[in-house]
Amino acid sequence: MFHRIKILSYEMGLVFRDREFVGLLGEGTHWRFDPWSQSRVTIVSRREPWLAHEKLDLIVKSGLLAGQAEVLDVQDQQRALVWIEGRFSQILGAGLYAYWLGQKRVNVEMIDIRQARFEHKDLKVIARTAAAKVLLDICEVQRDRVGVLFIDGRYIETLAPGQYAFWKGAAEARVVEVDMRETAADISGQEIMTADKVTLRVNALVTYRIVDARRAVSAADDARQALYREAQLALRAIIGGRELDAFLAGKDEVAQELSAAIRVRAAELGIEVIAVGIRDVILPGEMKDLMNRVTEAKKAAEANLIARREETAAIRSQANTAKLLADQPTLMRLRELEVLEKIASAGQLKIVLGGDSEKGLANRVVNLL
């Protein structure tokens, strides 16, 4: 009929009679008279900061927790950040909570989630907890990128690299990450017919970077792909209006015209075009052979012309020399002596003269020597 109940210093007894909460039992030994076993005492530890019980609403409604526990009633538009002994513990969603006073130092910060974005000086610590993964959408904007933030479909702001968090259920938050680094688009494998009906395969290179992230995200479903298509069409139009020889002779002009053609559209997409170049031009096999033969013929004609020019110059030089020697007998004699000197230096010089008919020649040779 008497029941002995011992409550330790770190415990609390919850007294129920006929399943109704009727009181608390503090530290000590208690004797209770209950001949019909209508009462029940549930002993809970206050070392756990939270009072967890299936009938917490009845316990709170009784008002008997005053001075023993702090009650938190978190509304649908609220969340509670809890620190225990100066260390972050958890995030509480909507509901009724109670934590004991006097055992551990508990600090609670109430947050209004109608502002969908959650900003806090301890965000990195909070984001690592299990409760954060349940109640928060956490995203990371990487280095050299920006995040374009939309909430309920409306543009809000452009986010710098870093960590961001948004309350689940508060609003539809979406962050589109955009790479702001310089990028090259390879416009490859374009088969294009020139004005003189020659089919070429042309590879071009467009170097660009995104300068307006919001416009790049909003103007097209894929700004990079849109720029690629624009460059394809512009390249076809430019080459299609030129004959083969004009195109091959003015590839730099084609690149400049292509750059000018896509810059306006690129600006509408939030993109800055840095450079455009024609990388490769591939001719059909038969056209390549024909071009090689034309080049070979041109080179042969140029070589023949150069040879004729050299021969003409040599003959002109010889004619000038002969005229000079004819006008200057002394120079002629000096030239003859130079020739004899070269012959004599090459070896022994032997002169054989004929009979009387050769006296005139002999006399001339003697005079020379």
pLDDT in tens, the chain (369 residues): 567 888 898 889 998 888 888 888 888 888 877 666 677 888 999 888 889 888 999 899 988 888 889 999 999 999 999 999 999 999 999 999 999 988 889 999 999 999 899 999 999 999 998 888 899 999 999 999 999 999 999 999 999 999 999 999 889 999 999 999 999 988 887 788 888 788 888 889 999 999 999 999 999 889 999 999 999 999 888 888 888 888 888 888 989 999 999 999 999 999 999 999 988 887 766 655 656 566 666 767 777 788 788 888 878 887 777 777 777 777 767 776 777 667 767 666 566 555 554 455 556 555 555
Strand partners, 275: 207
Instruction: Please state the three-class secondary structure of 177-233 as a single string.
Output: EEECCCEEEEEEEEEEECCCCCEEEEEEEEEEEECCHHHHHHHCCCHHHHHHHHHHH
The pTM (predicted TM-score) of the whole model is 0.66
- Can you list the domains of the chain with their CATH numbers? 1-77+97-104 (no CATH), 185-282 (3.30.479.30), 328-369 (no CATH)
**What pLDDT is attached to residue 247?**
82
**What pLDDT is attached to residue 291?**
61
**What pLDDT is attached to residue 248?**
80
